[in-house]
Structure 1
Amino acid sequence: MRGSNSSLSSLSRRQPWKLINIADLPDAVLIEVVCRLSCSKLIFRCKCVCKRWLTLISDPYFVDHYLRHQSDKKRHIIRTLIYAREYVVRLRFHPWTNPTVVATYNDLMLCYGNLNRYCICNPCTMQWVALPRIPTYTVHRRSEVRVGFICDTPCYNYKEDEHEDQKGDVMQHNAAYRCKVVRIRPPEKGYYHFSFEWKVDIFSSETGEWRKAVVLSPRAITLNGLGFPHQGILYWLGREENGCSIIFGLDPFSDKPKCFFIALDEPLNDLRHFGVCGGCIRMCGLDMATRSLIVFYLKTEEDGKLCLSKRMVYSLDQNMYLDNESNVSLRPFDPNDEDVCYIYVYGECVRYKYNFRTRKWSTIVEEIPHQISYSFVHVQPWWPTPVPRLPQRACPAESN
């Protein structure tokens, strides 16, 4: 042992160990290190280290390499629900006073602020861009307007790698996307009035301007709830004069907005959009006459129209509600488990979880706010979506 220690001592004197600074690492090695961080939020913080790191992380090659790494590791994409009481907390970086989230698309949020203004922001990157003011002819109370927000392309594009020494496809973050904001104005007599004609305002990120349009419904309807996107179409829920539920769709990317209409022909209570399951839109509603949960699965045909794929009926447990028919309400679905939805019983202040696959009910103790009217799904993709770049004439001074 004594000889061994003397040998190490003499070796250290002849070849002293050199401390390696991370700044001395080649770009390729540094990229490999940073790509192994657990989430993109930490990577964005690394942009502040120095100009070199900012340049490397901003390069499309880094983004492609990071997305490849996430795909190989099969990283789970996190989805969360946000409620009304969380809106302002999430947007503390925003300069507006108490902005309200009115729609989401993946990790982008559409917010409504003072003076009849909207903006698009990303809480992860803390970037935001203000939209032009809505023309004065469309000023209405926020609660009266039905709003939808949609983008036309996926977060990532795939293409074959041109280099023979590389295997697989190249994943590129799609920053050149189009987005639309749609506002459906209330009829002159108010939203509880059934109407065939609906006046809409559509904002385009390409032009940076609002434009007017008129869409016609084949039946007199009233609309309620939030707009939700699916395969390039925005949909809203509503009902006919006979009380039956309907789904009203609008294609905001066409030159002349096309209308889609499907009647469910059932008077359902508390009809809600429950996400996409197996490629189909899933709608859930309560039929209090039969004390059942009705689930509709709607698929998109080649012509873009929705059609009913299947209808499922799930009986409510008689022990979970009181005699009052209006005391049961649907709550948001689980964004990370397509088999689970929640139900709230007002009289007993009890929350239930239902699993569509096992058809079993269970009482839960997790706090799900019962005062909320709406909730939004906020998706955290592998790489955050940049806010859209609007033409310079569209409010250049109010973005970051």
Structure 2
Amino acid sequence: METRDEKPYDHFPDETLLEILVKLPAKSIFRFKCVSKNWLSLISEPSFFTRYINSRYDSPPFSLVFQCSNTARAHFFISTEKNTLKYLTSLHDQIPPLKIESTNNDLILYRSENSHQPVYFLANPFTKQFVSLPMHSTRRSSGPTGLISNVEDGITSYNVVRVIIKSSLNLEIFSSERGEWMNFKAVINNCTSKVEFDARPCVVFRGVLHWICNKMTALLTYDPRSKNYGFCRFISVPNGAYHMNGKNAVLGVSGGKLCYFEMNGISVQDYNLPAWKLWVMKDYERGEWSLDRESGERKIDSFGFLCNLLSSYSPLFPVAFHPWNSDVVYFWHEGYILNFSIKTGWFDEDVFSTFCMLSAWENFPLLMPLCSSKI
């Protein structure tokens, strides 16, 4: 017999409840996490998110945020959520100039360039929250920055990591749980050369930060959760060709896998699409990659808008992976974002116009999780 505080759904077995929840739209999942502590706990589990993704034909909402690397004012967004696109645009209009430093899940780390000492802000475009971080403790020259966030039992925690470059590498870390910055000297294993960071955003995989360095031949990794404070690790990248500061290749996470896509060129020459390779991390602990797919040159032998567009000698850059569908790689070409299929080895006819011809873009994935981050 039910008590006054009990509801009929409190008696559902967890497995039955999970089977129901994975069939619901993402927006319903957001609402239902407020039903009870048990529902919140089930939805917040990483295993539920994986199960939800695998059970659906359509991927959860996500955005790809593009930022011109030459100026902090130029941004555009490809999004499955119109509210996200609107909010991000208005945010930049209100507090210019903001530069995106890193993203993770549904959070964006911004840096204000109005002062000599950078000021960091954290924003969630889905919940429309915006907070500033305490001032960090050093003015020394900073290198790349990374952000890692996590939601557990409805509580959001995050870490911001700055790489400080001087005579040696140091790490400056802000933890939301401590509410302060801490400094550590970076200890790098199997390091045989000087670390030179590429102008690429940080990639987060398995809760670990990955910075691309040494002309896209290596990854410098750091796990803020590790008890070995300051301990970093090198992982090699299967870089076979390097063109225009590595713009012929892209590293990212797709379908839960760490992926590396590389083209043997940066443009279509004599109606031939360059050869390409897709590598997937096979053994993360050992840093071993596996060649997943490859293709030789492909002749453009058909007609139409897309083929005419590709027939020019303008740069053709891979810029991002689809966060859920590892079959899709996004390319930039003459102000358009093109959708490339690994299975077919060719581009979809649907193209997205950016209305911007600049090619110096950084891109950041922005995901809409089933349990949003409250900051």
**What RMSD in Å do the two structures reach over aligned CA positions?**
4.1
- Does residue 331 of the first structure (1) align with residue 319 of the second (2)? yes
Q: Which residue of 2 aligns with 1:307?
A: 288
Does the Cα contact within 8 Å between 1:299 and 1:308 map onto a contact in 2? yes
Match of 1:298 among 260, 278, 281: 281
Check 1:187–1:89 CA distance in 2 against 1; reply closer, same or farther (3 A cut). farther
Check 1:313–1:187 CA distance in 2 against 1; reply closer, same or farther (3 A cut). farther
Match of 1:365 among 322, 329, 351: 351
Identity across matched positions, percent: 18
- Does residue 276 of the first structure (1) align with residue 254 of the second (2)? yes
Q: Which residue of 2 aligns with 1:239?
A: 214
Q: Which residue of 1 aligns with 2:133?
A: 131
- The gaps in structure 2 that reach 5 residues or longer are 11-20, 68-74, 78-84, 267-272, 301-306
Letter in 1 for 2:126: C
**Distance apart, 1:268 and its partner CA:** 2.5
**Distance apart, 1:83 and its partner CA:** 2.4
- Does residue 257 of the first structure (1) align with residue 230 of the second (2)? yes
Does the Cα contact within 8 Å between 1:342 and 1:353 map onto a contact in 2? yes
Does the Cα contact within 8 Å between 2:141 and 2:166 map onto a contact in 1? no
Check 1:72–1:204 CA distance in 2 against 1; reply closer, same or farther (3 A cut). closer
- Does residue 107 of the first structure (1) align with residue 109 of the second (2)? no
**Pairs aligned (count):** 310
State the distance in 2 between where 1:72 and 1:185 align: 39
State the distance in 2 between where 1:178 and 1:67 align: 13
**Distance apart, 1:146 and its partner CA:** 1.0
- Matched residue SS, 2:192: strand
- Does residue 287 of the first structure (1) align with residue 246 of the second (2)? no
**Distance apart, 1:106 and its partner CA:** 0.9
Normalised to the residue count of structure 2, the TM-score between the two structures is 0.67
* Cα deviations by residue, 1:5-30 (Å, 9 ceiling, x for unpaired): xxxxxxxxxxxxxxxxxxxxx99599
Match of 1:174 among 153, 164, 167: 153
- Matched residue SS, 1:298: strand
State the distance in 2 between where 1:133 and 1:306 align: 36
Does the Cα contact within 8 Å between 1:250 and 1:258 map onto a contact in 2? yes
- Does residue 340 of the first structure (1) align with residue 340 of the second (2)? no
> Where do 1:1-400 residues align within 5 Å?
28=7, 39=27, 43=31, 57=34, 60-61=37-38, 63=40, 76-84=59-67, 85-86=75-76, 89-91=86-88, 92=90, 97-98=95-96, 99-113=98-112, 114-115=114-115, 116-138=118-140, 145-151=143-149, 153=150, 155=151, 174-176=153-155, 178-186=157-165, 197-215=168-186, 216=188, 217-224=191-198, 225-239=200-214, 245-254=217-226, 255-263=228-236, 264=238, 266-269=240-243, 270=247, 271-277=249-255, 279-288=256-265, 291-301=274-284, 304-310=285-291, 312-319=293-300, 327-346=315-334, 352-368=338-354, 370-371=357-358, 373-387=361-375
State the distance in 2 between where 1:95 and 1:329 align: 29
- Matched residue SS, 1:223: coil
State the distance in 1 between where 2:103 and 2:298 align: 34
State the distance in 1 between where 2:25 and 2:346 align: 39
Check 1:318–1:185 CA distance in 2 against 1; reply closer, same or farther (3 A cut). farther
- Matched residue SS, 2:40: helix
- Matched residue SS, 1:221: coil
Does the Cα contact within 8 Å between 1:78 and 1:336 map onto a contact in 2? no
State the distance in 1 between where 2:91 and 2:35 align: 22
**Distance apart, 1:97 and its partner CA:** 1.6
Does the Cα contact within 8 Å between 2:154 and 2:371 map onto a contact in 1? no
Larger radius of gyration: 1
Letter in 2 for 1:266: G
Check 1:362–1:107 CA distance in 2 against 1; reply closer, same or farther (3 A cut). closer
Check 1:318–1:233 CA distance in 2 against 1; reply closer, same or farther (3 A cut). same
Q: Which residue of 2 aligns with 1:15?
A: none
Check 1:386–1:336 CA distance in 2 against 1; reply closer, same or farther (3 A cut). same
Check 1:60–1:370 CA distance in 2 against 1; reply closer, same or farther (3 A cut). farther
State the distance in 1 between where 2:283 and 2:157 align: 22
* Cα deviations by residue, 1:271-290 (Å, 9 ceiling, x for unpaired): 3113234x531011222299
**Distance apart, 1:134 and its partner CA:** 2.0
**Distance apart, 1:309 and its partner CA:** 2.5
**Distance apart, 1:119 and its partner CA:** 2.3
* Cα deviations by residue, 1:337-362 (Å, 9 ceiling, x for unpaired): 3211133344xx66643211233344
Q: Which residue of 2 aligns with 1:8?
A: none
Check 1:66–1:174 CA distance in 2 against 1; reply closer, same or farther (3 A cut). closer
State the distance in 2 between where 1:329 and 1:38 align: 32
Normalised to the residue count of structure 1, the TM-score between the two structures is 0.63
